[in-house]
Amino acid sequence: MSRVIVFDLNETLLDLSAMDPAFQQVFGAAEVRKLWFKQVLELFLTATVIDAYRPFSELTDAALEMIALQRGVRLTADDKARVHAAMQALPAHPDVRPSLERLKGAGLRLATLTNSGEKTARHHLEHAGLTELFDAVLSADAVQRYKPAREAYEYAAKQLDVKLRDIRLVAAHSWDVAGALRAGCEAAFVARPEKALDPTGKQPDVVGCDLTEVAERILASDG
């Protein structure tokens, strides 16, 4: 069976650890970057549950302010600019381009579905040198319902002109995998460092320690 392979962007394809030096400079601890991204996650999940959508860029800024308040740090304009600049210069993980090229070379359609805005997503893909590998760049912003809400996956299916069951969502986030499976998609989990699936929930049929392994298993299943 040939499916459209739809990739999450942040952490799945893009390496957010490249932001660590900026957080080291601003907060004196690189690991604060992980706390910041968890705060972003909390904010967009809250926005979805209470049905009060806010653009992703607002949430990343709000999360930065919240982390600063939690740690007693007064952010300056230069601090914010430093973090924003790092956010705009994210590289892809080393395994990303070879894996995408292999899937693309096998004739599979590739797309992204991100909670970031579409303009931001396109910038990230261009900066990482991945733009030409994707047939579509999709954002949950279009329906103002963040993943893992069902509407985000339904939007992707509509834009790609396929049924939900013909999408395989690839992500390094258990919540994204869970949302895709619940919506009726297939899924694949990339076990990036410090990432794990919920062992008590529905499991995807493709799991790998990195995108190289995931791509191999997708080709065996969907190619």
Q: pLDDT of 82-128, one tens digit each? A: 999 999 999 999 999 999 999 999 999 999 999 999 999 999 999 99
**pLDDT confidence of residue 1:** 47
* Tokens 């303009």 -> residue: 119
CATH tag, 4-15+90-222: 3.40.50.1000
Q: What is the tens place of the pLDDT at every residue in 40-70?
A: 999 999 999 999 999 999 999 999 999 999 9
Q: What is the CATH number of domain 16-87?
A: 1.10.150.240
pLDDT (tens digit per residue) in 149-201: 999 999 999 999 999 999 999 999 999 999 999 999 999 999 999 999 999 99
pLDDT recorded at residue 123: 98
Domain ranges of the chain: 4-15+90-222, 16-87
